[in-house]
């Protein structure tokens, strides 16, 4: 696990975008795992810029999103289908048929989840998964207590996560209680993982995930067992880390061949 602390979310996101760009240049048919929420937005803006200014080509890329609310149609402004279309897909040349997001309107959740897992496998598996982190340590919508080997399935949101996402809905009642999410085990099979976290609201979860015990109570802590996980933080999100001076030293003294 490599922890990189930058002075702003923009700088940390630019590093994340460079990791994605490096992969897509090396492997034009890369399979990306994508997240929604406020965290990946600056990274997505950077990818759009790289596509426009440096002709970064997404024409052969495939993507799988982490999650979607159950019961929301794709056109709903708070759906993750809508989020991805508006904030990323419509600005890139990624073919629509190559983009996959769990179907919030499926009438057979277990069959859909199995098919989603199968589609990831058929695409050759995830090359790089982008993650945010919940204030409670969730990744995807794998809330505390989720099995660390779980696969794509239905999950119930905790009251805290519903509250955190309330800003996207007009009434309390509208906030979905159920989601389909890739499992922790699904995420862990990605060849590479890039987790971003910004703001002091994430500091406690980041410290627990990076320096705490590996536990289902903090699903993101399983990333300690991943061979290629990069944690990109701004100063505020790094605020509770005990070894932050060490992480900074490592980053400042990276040999040139290891630079991002
Ligand atoms: C979103 C997702 C979630 C978010 C997390 C943080 O697809 O899987 O795990 O990454 O809830 O959300 P933000 O970025 O809005 O703070």
pLDDT single digits (tens) 53-69: 999 999 999 999 999 99
Please name the residue whose Cα sits nearest to atom 1 of ligand 1: 36
Kind and range of the H or E run holding 186: helix 184-188
Can you give the C-alpha Rg of the chain in angstroms? 17
Q: Is 79 in the pocket of ligand 1 (CB under 6 A)?
A: no
CB of 42 within 8 A of CB of 138? no
Q: Given the CA of residue 199, which atom of ligand 1 is nearest to it?
A: 16
Q: Is 138 in the pocket of ligand 1 (CB under 6 A)?
A: yes
Mean pLDDT to the nearest integer, 235-248: 98
Each residue's pLDDT tens digit, 182-214: 999 999 999 999 999 999 999 999 999 999 999
Asked if 143 is an active-site residue, the reply is yes
Q: Is 142 in the pocket of ligand 1 (CB under 6 A)?
A: no
What's the pLDDT score for residue 51?
98
Asked if 136 is an active-site residue, the reply is yes
162's CB contacts (< 8 A; 6+ apart) are 175, 177
Asked if 46 is an active-site residue, the reply is no
> What is the pairing mode between strands 178-181 and 62-65?
unpaired
Q: How far apart are CA 67 and CA 224, in angstroms?
A: 22
Q: How many angstroms separate the alpha carbon of residue 93 from the centre of ligand 1?
A: 25
Each residue's pLDDT tens digit, 21-43: 999 999 999 999 999 999 999 99
Mean of pLDDT over the chain: 97
* Fold classification of 2-254 (topology level): Rossmann fold (3.40.50)
Mean pLDDT to the nearest integer, 81-104: 98
Mean pLDDT to the nearest integer, 110-127: 98
Q: Which residue of the set 51, 81, 138, 226 is catalytic?
A: 138
Domain ranges within the chain, ordered by starting residue: 2-254
Mean pLDDT to the nearest integer, 157-173: 92
Asked if 100 is an active-site residue, the reply is no
Q: How far is CA 133 from CA 23, 91, 141, 206, in A?
A: 22, 25, 9, 8
Q: How confident is the model at residue 116 (pLDDT cuts 50, 70, 90)?
A: very high
């Amino acid at each position: 696990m490599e922890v990189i602390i930058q002075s702003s979310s923009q700088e940390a996101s630019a590093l994340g975008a460079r990791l994605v760009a490096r992969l897509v240049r090396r492997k034009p048919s890369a399979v990306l795992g994508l997240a929604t929420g406020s965290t990946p937005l600056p990274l997505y803006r950077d990818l759009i810029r790289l596509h426009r200014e440096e002709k970064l080509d997404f024409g052969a890329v495939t993507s799988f999103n982490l999650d979607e609310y159950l019961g929301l149609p794709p056109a709903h402004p708070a759906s993750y289908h809508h989020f991805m279309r508006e904030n990323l897909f419509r600005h890139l040349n990624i073919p629509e048929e190559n983009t996959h997001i769990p179907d919030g309107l499926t009438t057979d959740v277990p069959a859909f989840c199995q098919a989603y897992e199968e589609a990831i496998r058929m695409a050759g598996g995830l090359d790089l998964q982008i993650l945010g982190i919940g204030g409670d340590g969730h990744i995807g919508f794998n809330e505390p207590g989720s099995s660390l080997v779980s696969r794509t399935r239905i999950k119930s949101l905790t009251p805290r996560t519903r509250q955190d996402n309330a800003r996207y809905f007009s009434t309390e009642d509208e906030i979905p209680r159920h989601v389909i999410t890739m499992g922790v085990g699904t995420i862990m099979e990605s060849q590479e993982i890039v987790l971003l976290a910004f703001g002091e609201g994430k500091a406690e979860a980041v410290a627990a995930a990076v320096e705490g015990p590996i536990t289902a109570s903090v699903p993101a802590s399983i990333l300690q067992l991943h061979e290629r996980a990069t944690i990109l933080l701004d100063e505020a999100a790094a605020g509770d880390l005990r070894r932050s001076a060490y992480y900074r030293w490592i980053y400042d003294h990276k040999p040139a061949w290891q630079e991002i």
